[in-house]
Structure 1
Amino acid sequence: MPIFQSHAGFCITRNKLQLVEIDYRKENFYLENVDEEPFGEEIDSSNRESKFINILQNAYKALSVRKSLNTQNVSFALQHDFFKIIEIPFDNTLTERDLIEHFNWELQLLFPSEIPNDYFVQYVDVDKSNLRKEKYAIILAINRQLLNLINKFCFKNNLVLRLADNIHFATNVFITLDNQSVKNEVYLSILIEEKEFSVIIMDEQIPIHFSVKQYLDDSDLLSKMKSVIEKLGKYNLSVDNITKSYLFGNNAGDELIEKINSSVNLQLKKINPFDKIKVSPFLYENRYFVETNNSFAPAAGVALRLQ
């Protein structure tokens, strides 16, 4: 059996469902579909089970009418507010089990109305990098009930759920693909969605910083972006130490890129997530593939993941 199988990636934002389907044949990746469908109403993690699945189902049905999936294997990139995102210190002498218990204890302190055992915890150990040696972890905790709802949606549609990831972390695969043979470099990526942006700083392939900020308008975004970049000094870094910087997201227009570059002295690069994938000919007439391909990076990122 090949390591990679045909795979569809979905991205759930507040107001739409995005789809990227990738077929693997003859030892090559082939892009088979790029599409999106707006939700009838905003979706969030507080929706009741029936409402959440119905919103998702209606969007998926519209996508399927236009072109049905050729694969059962699917993965999801999920918006930030589906997660509890924190950074906390830890004792590296703890066993994996004790470490998760410690993270759950911290979650209970920070979110007293939540039950920690209701959450599935993923974490990044930043001290594995060359730049941060403090015993800190970036925590992304997602409610198990939410994962269960997505799994129910998949079961209802005869799909097999492979993985679920954060919308920004899902794009990291493209930084890896863009820098496969480069060592000892620092990368910065920004993802801009409606009224929200996030920043990841990576030491080679290891995230050492992750933050999510709300913004009111472009002016507020630029001000908060500048504040985040100024905190690079915390890691003994400056903008001059950033080897490459990347921009992703539905709200990442060219005019805004120019404003960010001017404000914080970056040279942001918008990646076409389909550059290294063979393309089925009919997609050259697909407006999402031609005009807004960068916004599909999260869906494409999970579609390209092996695990």
Structure 2
Amino acid sequence: MNKFPHLNPHGTPAFKDSQLSKVTELIRSWDGKETVSNFGLLGLPLSKPSISHSGACFAPTIIRKALQSYSTYAIEEDVDLNNTITDFGDVAMHVTSVAESNKRIKDALSSILSTHNSMIPIILGGDHSVTAPSVDAFSKVKGNIGIIQFDAHHDLRNLDDGGPSNGTPFRQLIEGGHLKGKHLLQIGIRNFSNSRNYFDYAKENEVTVLTMQQVNELSLKNVINDWLRNVKSEVDAIYVSVDMDVLDQAYAPGCPAIGPGGMTSETLLDAIRHLGTLEEVQAIDIVEIDPTLDFRDMTSKVAAHVILNFLLGKQKK
């Protein structure tokens, strides 16, 4: 008989329903062995390069916490998620050096992917600067990369006014030779969030730009499918990057760069679920959540649903 009854180990849910499975039951911490799941979770807690104040370095922990709130069952599709996820933990960032932090991201993801080539990484930022080293690592393993970016901003800022930051990742990738502009689809670009110079740069480099007005007027699935048909023969894999400020501020109060006129969470989740069904889509990152600004973890909970809908799409295909 237990000498100390009614005690649960730390982290054990206060209540367990024997007839309901939680998402966290699918997640396994990596034990250092060779066998991993089809999906891998990796936290990149970096926000020092943000051009505005940001606590996005805290987001990986809070998004993981948000996943604890949800079950594995999707009632609309009558599907129970059953793919396990290997959680590789977080990349340890350098205290002061952004360059060293980026190197650590690249080295860690390169090592994981080179050992587990078929695993699909689910990357938790951090600010949007983490996408540049992540795609650099991803492309070295996968080959030619196409990117579908959900964002209010182009993130094509020049590198002369402040060096690499959360506003420059896609310019870094284009100018670094890791990405061709015509292999980048930007979805949700908004009024009063960019400059003509950066829109001109996008056009000059053949980036496909879909504004929020076009998102509202067109079928997003059709746009994605048409773009993919045009680039499919030229790329080996698609990387999806979700900047949560693509959402209207009503849905994402925890983004440093919130604003009106953005996407609804329903539209974003529907698109992510569709992308999950596409075999070419082999990685996703979620960035730009500052939990210190959020209200009741609303934005992190949307991020959790981005992960769940991506997994749902992958399971349905």
Name the TM-score, length of structure 2 as normaliser: 0.29
Which is richer in strand? 1
Name the TM-score, length of structure 1 as normaliser: 0.29
